[in-house]
Amino acid sequence: MAHPGDKFPIVTERLNHWFGMGEARKQAIFDVSLEIDAGKLTILVGPSGSGKTTLLTLIGCLRDVQNGSAQLLGQELNNASEAELTASRQKLGFIFQAHNLHESLTALQNVRMGLEVHARQSPSKKADTYNVAAAHLLNLVGLGDRQKYLPSNLSGGQKQRVAVARALVGNPLVVFADEPTAALDKESGRNVVALLRRLGQERGTTTVMVTHDNRILEMADRIVTLEEGRIVDDKRFDT
């Protein structure tokens, strides 16, 4: 059965966005219409201030849509209620520029938080099931032996890999990544993106990534270039 958003999980139409109020009001996104292909890795590139992160946070339900349309898995985000936004967020995995791990939680517990958001109410599926699934994801990102480590005892690359595990543990249909390699050296940055791409392909996940980092562009299925809030280039690659 076909669901809305099956072919294009993310669709924007004439999306505009402004920051600030009154005199200081400044437009950051201009008339962006975009369809993101299911199951592919799409990379948004552009210079600083081109609006790529803003676009990502709009379609990632991290910022209210002001004008135009943005649909995520069939849900219109413009004027969506808090409950609808929360439901949409639960279908996503988000990887932040800084890893944003919870400092008081171990690697395993951090990954578990990506699961607990889904079925917190069912007591039968508690601790053990969650821990098994979270440990499995940590193994996949190569940190099976670091389950009990607090973030402060992990390297930058390891933290970002925990963040990847947390984003993927709930089997999200869409994964957003905002400059996931910014805080990493070349080697670990490449490893993290390669991991994200491999897991995405295995699971049929749609991945949208914002980056400055030219070294990882070769892994993209599609590169969308923004400049001053507008799409100026859009290339698809057959891989």
Partner 1 sequence: MTAFLSWLLGRLPIGWLQLKHNRGRLAAAVAGIAFANILVFVQLGIMMALNTTILVPYSLLNADIIISAADSNSLTDGSNVPRQRGFEALSIAGVADSLPLFIGSINWKKDDGSSTNLQVMASDPAKGAFLAQPIRDEIAKLFLIDTVLLDRSTRGADEVRFEQISPQNPMLFEANGRTLSAPGTIDVGGGFSSDGFAYTSDQTFLRLFGKRISGAPNHILLKAEADRDIDIVIAELQELFPTGKVKVRTLEEAAHADQVYQTTERPTGLIFGFGVLMGVIVGLVIVYQLLSTDVADHLKEYATFKAMGYRQSFFLSIVFEEALILAVLGFIPGALIATILYQFLSEASSLPIMMDNARLIVVFLGTLASCAISGAIATRRLAGADPADLF
Question: What's the full length of the chain, in residues?
Answer: 239
- Burial-class residue 231 by CB neighbours within 10 Å (0-12, 13-18, 19+): buried
Q: For residues 154 and 96, is the Cβ–Cβ distance under 8 A?
A: no
3-state secondary structure of 27: strand
Place of tokens 């985000």: 77
Question: Which helix or strand (DSSP H or E) is residue 76 part of?
Answer: strand 75-76
Please report how close the Cβ of residue 197 comes to partner 1 at its closest, in angstroms: 22
Please report how close the Cβ of residue 20 comes to partner 1 at its closest, in angstroms: 12
- Which of residues 38 and 87 has its CB atom nearest to partner 1 in the complex? 87
- Which of residues 87 and 217 has its CB atom nearest to partner 1 in the complex? 87
Please report how close the Cβ of residue 114 comes to partner 1 at its closest, in angstroms: 7
Q: For residues 192 and 181, is the Cβ–Cβ distance under 8 A?
A: yes
Please report how close the Cβ of residue 217 comes to partner 1 at its closest, in angstroms: 25
3-state secondary structure of 34: strand
Residue ranges in contact with partner 1 by CB under 8 A? 57, 60-64, 82, 86-92, 94, 96, 98, 100, 102-105, 109, 112-114, 116-117, 120-121, 123, 126-127, 150, 166
Please report how close the Cβ of residue 187 comes to partner 1 at its closest, in angstroms: 26
Tell me how far apart the alpha carbons of residues 239 and 220 are, in angstroms, rounded to a whole number: 9
- Which of residues 85 and 217 has its CB atom nearest to partner 1 in the complex? 85
- Which of residues 76 and 218 has its CB atom nearest to partner 1 in the complex? 76
- Which of residues 119 and 217 has its CB atom nearest to partner 1 in the complex? 119
Strand partners, 114: none
Please report how close the Cβ of residue 154 comes to partner 1 at its closest, in angstroms: 15
- Which of residues 92 and 165 has its CB atom nearest to partner 1 in the complex? 92
The alpha helices in the chain, defined as continuous H runs, are: 52-59, 82-90, 107-116, 127-140, 156-168, 186-203
Place of tokens 């209620």: 81
